[in-house]
Amino acid sequence: MDTTTIWIVILLLGLGSYAMRFVFIGIIGDRELPPWILRHLRYTAVAILPGLVAPLVVWPAATDGQPDPARLSATFVTILVGWFTKNILAAILSGAATLYLLLYMTG
């Protein structure tokens, strides 16, 4: 990563994010939006984030892309705790605890 690329990403991602925050409240005002646009907007985060995580879980770079029991177990625990508690912090902590425990045991 070179410095210019990093600054470009920071700047454009910042401007783009601001544009999306501003677009309706600032420009569209009180006009109604077509329901199909709102319907697609609702699913963007839930459609992008799982796809970003999946390859990192199945083929971790730290193990040269080999599936790894400690990381798979941590994934599983994080998902379970997150699903049942809906508590972000509890899910992160139990996932991290699982990861460290298994990394420690498998040396």
Which 15-74 positions form the footprint of other proteins (CB under 8 A)? 15-18, 20-26, 28-30, 33-36, 38-62, 71, 74
Which ranges of 29-107 does DSSP label H, i.e. alpha helix? 35-41, 44-58, 69-85, 88-105
Output the smallest distance, CB 64 to other proteins, in A.
Answer: 12
Output the smallest distance, CB 79 to other proteins, in A.
Answer: 6
Question: Residue from 64, 69, 73, 75 that binds other proteins (CB under 8 A)?
Answer: 75
Rounded CA gap, 25 and 33, in Å? 12
Output the smallest distance, CB 73 to other proteins, in A.
Answer: 11
Rounded CA gap, 99 and 72, in Å? 9
